[in-house]
Amino acid sequence: MKSFRADYVFPVYADPIKNGIVTVDDVGKIISVTDSNNPPVGPIESVSGIICPGFINTHCHLELSHLKDKIKTGTGLVSFIKDIQLFRNSDQQLVADAIEKADLEMYDNGIVAVGDISNTNLSIPVKAKSKLYYHTFVETFGFLPQNAEDVFNKAMALVNEFKPQSVSITPHAPYSVSKELFKLIRKHSEEGHNLISIHNQECEDENKFYRYKLGGFLNLYQHFGIDISYFKPQARNSVQSIIPLLSNKQSVLLVHNTCTNLKDIYFIKRFDRKVNFCFCPNANVYIEGKLPKVELFVNQGFNITLGTDSLASNGRLCILDEMRTIQKKFPALSTARLIEWATQNGAEFLGIDDEKGSLTPGKTPGLNLITGLDGLKITPESKVRKLI
């Protein structure tokens, strides 16, 4: 048994405890969370800062880890996608080594579970032996209706390669998945457990494409030689067009939401879909040079989570860094709320909240220590250290 006393303990399932004490057993299972008036028996290690549960990174692409510092920043999503394609055939050993390094980086940064997007089987070996929990989203691309079945079948073959690891099939984004492919995934999602994670409204061009069939994505399809003459403008934003194509049986994570507006949020609320929102602010800054209107999403009744996205669009895989970027831009968002997004909410979405996401006795969530705070505010000096 081991006990830690900190300036604050954030159990997440309850209010923060000043001078709180957490006691864990040898395998990291939470025995108790108390205040200094009711200290547990045995030695107590005192640390300064906040103790919170291990972080949950709900959006990553391990297999893009070798692209760190390779892609230009601030050029916008369409240009980013073109640049990424140039590296799709990189040396497999290089990719595998970068995946292994990225997994260790996340461990060191106090991340205990990851929702990871995959297009290949390259991350399977690292995930199999990792100390982190992984759920893999096998991602489908295919905007041509006639290819839907083929794309679906190939992705399901990859899903089977990942088993027995936790895995599901998912659409990439509204602009890259045909209605027909969405429907195949919906049918599959109604037959059994199949978590969904979709890149949503990462740039304004995505809305322009859906509303008017204009903007950068026309250029992108031309660039790849794909004839999308069948596609008609939908006269509404992308997310409003795809929500009806999703199953109401499965949880859906809408990732990025950089160009999601209040009208879109109200539209989503009118549908009985299990929508969760994930923010990856540092990737948004890297690619688009802007942040989502995070304050619009707060107190709307949605589960909100955080993600790092990949090293292709981020300098680090660190959830504290994402919290820092959000709080700097939206100072009204408390550290307590951001920790909830970074822990319990992600665990709930991934379906692992019986084990992770809060310091509830009986769980093994991992313990993080956040230091370098100003009161409870995250500062440029704030760091995270894994206690267990």
Judged by the rule CB under 5 A, the positions of this chain that interact with Zn ion are 309
32 strand-pairing partners: 23
Nearer CB in complex with Zn ion: 309/348:
309
Is 260 in contact with 269 (CB distance < 8 Å)? no
Nearer CB in complex with Zn ion: 253/347:
253
Nearer CB in complex with Zn ion: 103/353:
103
**Structure token pair of residue 168:** 């599901």
What are φ and ψ of residue 232, in 5° steps? -110, 145
CB of 255 to Zn ion, least distance (A): 6
Question: Whole-angstrom Cα distance, residue 240 to residue 244?
Answer: 8
Nearer CB in complex with Zn ion: 206/309:
309
CB of 58 to Zn ion, least distance (A): 11
CB of 165 to Zn ion, least distance (A): 19
CB of 309 to Zn ion, least distance (A): 5
Is 170 in contact with 198 (CB distance < 8 Å)? yes
Q: Spell out the alpha helix ranges (H) of 169-318.
A: 179-191, 204-212, 216-223, 238-242, 262-270, 281-287
Residue in 356, 304, 366, 367 with CA at minimum distance from that of residue 333: 304
CB of 170 to Zn ion, least distance (A): 11
- Computed on alpha carbons and rounded to an integer, the radius of gyration of the chain in Å comes to 21
Question: Whole-angstrom Cα distance, residue 285 to residue 291?
Answer: 6
> How does DSSP classify residue 39?
P
CB of 228 to Zn ion, least distance (A): 22
Question: Whole-angstrom Cα distance, residue 158 to residue 152?
Answer: 10
Q: Spell out the alpha helix ranges (H) of 33-147.
A: 77-86, 92-108, 124-129
What are φ and ψ of residue 82, in 5° steps? -60, -45
Nearer CB in complex with Zn ion: 173/339:
173
CB of 253 to Zn ion, least distance (A): 11
Residue nearest to Zn ion (CB): 309
Nearer CB in complex with Zn ion: 103/309:
309
Nearer CB in complex with Zn ion: 215/307:
307
Alpha-carbon separation of residue 213 from 167, 262, 309 (angstroms):
34, 22, 27
**Structure token pair of residue 95:** 């990719």
Q: Do β-strands 274-279 and 44-46 pair in parallel, antiparallel, or remain unpaired?
A: unpaired
Nearer CB in complex with Zn ion: 83/355:
83
CB of 174 to Zn ion, least distance (A): 14
Nearer CB in complex with Zn ion: 313/345:
313
**Structure token pair of residue 387:** 């206690």
CB of 32 to Zn ion, least distance (A): 39
Q: Do β-strands 367-371 and 383-386 pair in parallel, antiparallel, or remain unpaired?
A: antiparallel
Lookup result for tokens 């549908």:
271
